[in-house]
Amino acid sequence: MAVPSRPPSQGGADLALEIGIDDPGASDIVALVQAHLAEMHGQSPLEHVHAMEPEALRADGVQFYSARCAGELVAIGALKLVGPGHVEIKSMRTADRWRRRGAGACMLAHLLEVARAQGYKRVSLETGTKEYFAPARALYAKAGFVPCAPFASYTDNPYSVCMTMELF
């Protein structure tokens, strides 16, 4: 089901985004996921890149969403089951031309809304420690995420930071 969203954009205008479940195998999504993977591999050593391949985004326990504006792919994000009452945000990515316009914040808000509606009590994520990841860390902190110990199969290492938030 698509949910209309109107995040703020540069210049004071609004973007009309439709966010809903989508097929991670769609060609435009595969292209964005591949660009995301390439960028992550350029930022972190192979063993510390935790972004998911398109096929993995179709696995049981993963809910994949896209945000579109007039049919154009703007952003993607997924929820992956970690354990009872606990999901992880995966594959958050905004298309380059849509960055810094509120689409990522809108996708994050949607994922948190879905997690709450489905009764999850905790949402966690892993992101990078380099300066490149500072905007993502700031977005998550603004939404209420706080640093936490590694969860699931993540490890304590100089390339990753884990964050979490309790849902009420």
Arithmetic mean of pLDDT over the chain: 90
Distance (Å, rounded) from C-alpha 13 to C-alpha 84? 41
CA 154 → CA 124, 128, 163, distances in Å?
11, 12, 12
Distance (Å, rounded) from C-alpha 5 to C-alpha 80? 22
pLDDT at 14: 58
Distance (Å, rounded) from C-alpha 86 to C-alpha 64? 16
Q: What is the pTM of this model?
A: 0.89
For residue range 67-89, list pLDDT tens digits in order. 999 999 999 999 999 999 999 99
CA 121 → CA 69, 126, 165, 168, distances in Å?
31, 17, 9, 7
List the one residue out of 165, 51, 47 whose CA is nearest residue 116. Answer: 165
Assigned token pair, 77: 């994000």
Residues above pLDDT 70, as percent of the chain: 91
For residue range 95-145, list pLDDT tens digits in order. 999 998 999 999 999 999 999 999 999 999 999 999 999 999 999 999 999
Mean pLDDT of 30-49: 89
* Helical pair 103-117 and 134-143, crossing angle rounded to 10 deg: 40
